[in-house]
A = this chain, B = another copy of it.
Amino acid sequence: MNSATDSARPHDQIRPVEIECGYLESNPASVLYKSGKTIVLCTASVETNVPPWMEGRGKGWVTAEYNMLPGSTSPRKRRDRSGKVDGRTTEIQRLIGRSLRAIVDLHALGERSITVDCDVLQADGGTRTASITGGYIALSLAVSQLAAIPELDPPVDPTAVLRDSVAAISVGVIGEDVVLDLDYRLDSAADVDMNVIMTGSGRFIELQGTGEEATFDDVQLAELLRLGKIGIAELTKLQKAQLVTV
């Protein structure tokens, strides 16, 4: 391994993860998700209707919003108050929404909406994958809450709504190395960056491999996918542990 990736953490190991469910007293479906120094507050909010364009189809909707707090980076990140959400933010929140919907049976949810807000308190790389992994836990908590309301008509069956779990991790190529779970330092050094989003049962939901001013070949692709699967398996285990204890 060359100097750019020379750190205590092995190249095939994810950062330490801490998950605090019910972080906000006012919303049990709130999760403070920490992956190394990256901290994301994920909250899932339920509404008893769907957006106008979905009404009357007997289906629900799951969407996500992503935001970095100004103090999450150094130098301070300016707030998105211009009326134009920047392109990166738009892409990330669309990705989070698609990833969560991939494992939800929207018919089983009924005509209800769940918005998963992912607010980054501290950013050290991997905020979008942390948002998906933590966002799934918040979503799952919200579905459980819905299921616990006795008078709901029709009632919500959480095992029908959530067909699987979802987790996400980044992998990258740095010089000659392929590395799992890029923090900010690694991400800055990476030539190729890939986000791997998979179900708990091991199927792909989304693959986004990008070389900004660089390219990659078949051999590197295979190694990126191999490491990604290792990370996903680890995160899936951590998610399950949390949701059992809730």
Contact = CB atoms under 8 A, between A and B. Distances in A.
Given A204-B217, A211-B204, A65 B79 contact: yes
A205 B199 contact: no
Interface in A118-166: 119, 121-122, 124, 164
A45 to B, nearest CB: 4
A208 B205 contact: no
Contacts of A164: 215
A216 B102 CA distance: 11
Interface in A73-89: 73-76, 79-85, 87
B43 A213 contact: no
B203 A76 contact: no
B76 A214 contact: no
A239 interface: no
A189 interface: no
B43 A71 contact: yes
A18 interface: no
Main secondary structure, interface of A, reads mixed
Contacts of A205: 210-211, 215
A115 B70 contact: yes
A70 B45 contact: yes
A177 interface: no
Contacts of A211: 102, 204-206
Nearest to A103: B215
Interface of A: 24-27, 30, 37, 39, 41, 43, 45, 47, 65, 67, 69-76, 79-85, 87, 90-91, 94, 98, 101-102, 104, 106, 115, 117, 119, 121-122, 124, 164, 194, 199, 202-217, 221
